[in-house]
Amino acid sequence: MDYGLFFASKTKCIMMFNNIKRIYWILVFGLFAASCKKSAPGPIVYDASKQQNIMNVAYGSDPAQTMDVYLPPGRSTSTTKVIVMVHGGSWDGGDKTDFNSAVVTLEAKLPGYAFFNINYRLAAGNKNNYPAAVNDVASAVAYINTRSADFDVTTQKLVLAGASAGAHLAMLEAYNNNASGNVKAVVDLFGPVDLHWLFFDYPFPQLSQPVLINFMGVSAVGDSSLYAQASPINYISATSPPTIIFHGTSDDIVPIDESVRLQAKLQSFNVPNSFIIYQGEGHGWTDANLSDTYNKIADFLNQYVN
């Protein structure tokens, strides 16, 4: 007997057996892993007859460029209006979730509206400086326009609403990027309108100037024209949309003088406006005054967005 051939054959048999076992377990584990994989979510199915809330819809490629979409039941592209909400936070903080309770309250008061509550890129040092956030608001509005048929809304009746820095961004979009005339109203909650004034004439420049430089990426001393370019008050004209303004007399973050000057500019062009002043309130408020704010927003929009 050729023991050499025997052992060689035996070795080959063992190798073949091991290979078969290896293939078997690869197949078993492969099938097991495949069965454990989560199936990819399918496309969103829009149903105009139902209320649909869709979170974190991307309107751009950056992770910050998302919006929460609140679509009312019984909506249509001829009747359902749009409110775009822009959160505050000094242009370097805040989140769309800051407006979650406001959306719920306003949905009940304004059932004929769809709400688009957006995030945008936040300024941080040399990153996302002006006009990044401004461009994001414009991109969000453009996205809603292109998807209006999917959402079953009309973007010919658009409202821009914001608080603080978000109000600044909302006003810039409404006053400077509304050639179509689709923006029918603006809701301004204690927003800054003249960044040049805030830089040079704010009572506490040691507080305002670092925030503005972080947002703008440059000091107004070095580029005052850029600050003028970023100021909503400089774009008001006779065709500007009706604007409702809210401000507290004790606001030491955005002084009420900003809103006083905003109303004066609107009135100089005969732009319909309403200015609600809350005595003793600071940069925001709660309770009865907040309820009053929601009611006055609804009344104003019912009057001017038809």
Arithmetic mean of pLDDT over the chain: 89
Structure confidence by residue, pLDDT tens digits, 175-212: 999 999 999 999 999 999 999 999 999 988 999 999 99
Model confidence band, residue 244 (pLDDT cutoffs 50, 70, 90): very high
Domain boundaries, the chain: 1-37, 52-304
* Pair of tokens at residue 69: 């979409």
Specify the range with the lowest mean pLDDT, choosing from 7-11, 125-129, 220-224, 283-287.
7-11
**Domain at 52-304, CATH from 3.90.870.30, 3.10.580.10, 3.40.50.1820, 3.30.1540.20:** 3.40.50.1820
Q: What percentage of residues in the chain have a pLDDT greater than 70?
A: 86
Q: Are 230 and 162 in contact (CB under 8 A)?
A: no
Structure confidence by residue, pLDDT tens digits, 27-52: 333 433 333 444 445 678 999 999 99
* DSSP letters for 16-66: HHHHHHHHHHHHHHHHHHHHHSPPPP------TTS-EEEEEEESSSSTT-E
